[in-house]
Structure 1
């Protein structure tokens, strides 16, 4: 079985986004503090821009030479995984907060 390769930039962006987002969600779930909600809103806005920039960077690298840049193509798919995770986290916060 072949190991899936990811570009360094895409992998780091995904993991940092996921870990920090999970830490903010966990902090809110444990403390129920509005601080985490406010930080989470700003975090989602900033990370959305950063993820889009890295996504388009990876996509351009992949499309410029498809046969040689499989890792960049895999990284674009990995970065797209952040979208449903973010939606799930927002849904969880809304359920906890009873908005």
Structure 2
């Protein structure tokens, strides 16, 4: 079985977004701090912009030569995985506030 290859930029973006977002969620759930909530909100705004930029970079690189840049296509899909994860995190936070 072959290993799935990812571009370094896409993999780093996914891991950084996932780990930092999860860390902020856990800290918020443990402390119930308004400061962590606000920090998390701004983090999400910044992460969305960065993820969209990296996603389009990976997608354009992949579409420019599909056979040679399959790792970039895999990375674009990996970055898209952050969307359902962030939706779950939002639901957890909104359920905390009963919204």
- The answer to whether TM tops 0.5 is yes
Q: Which residue of 1 aligns with 2:51?
A: 51
Q: Which residue of 1 aligns with 2:9?
A: 9
Deviating beyond 4 angstroms after TM superposition, the runs of 4 or more aligned structure 1 residues are none
Name the SS for the 2:3 alignment partner: coil
CA–CA distance in structure 1, aligned partners of residues 51 and 59 of structure 2: 12
TM-score by length of 2: 0.97
CA–CA distance in structure 2, aligned partners of residues 3 and 50 of structure 1: 26
Name the SS for the 1:55 alignment partner: helix
Q: Which residue of 1 aligns with 2:63?
A: 63
Q: Which residue of 1 aligns with 2:87?
A: 87
TM-score by length of 1: 0.97
CA–CA distance in structure 2, aligned partners of residues 35 and 83 of structure 1: 24
Size of the aligned set, in residue pairs, is: 99
Point out where structure 1 has 5 or more consecutive residues left out of the alignment: none
Point out where structure 2 has 5 or more consecutive residues left out of the alignment: none
- Deviations 1:3-34, CA, capped at 9 Å, x for gaps: 00000000000000000000000001000111
Q: Which residue of 1 aligns with 2:36?
A: 36
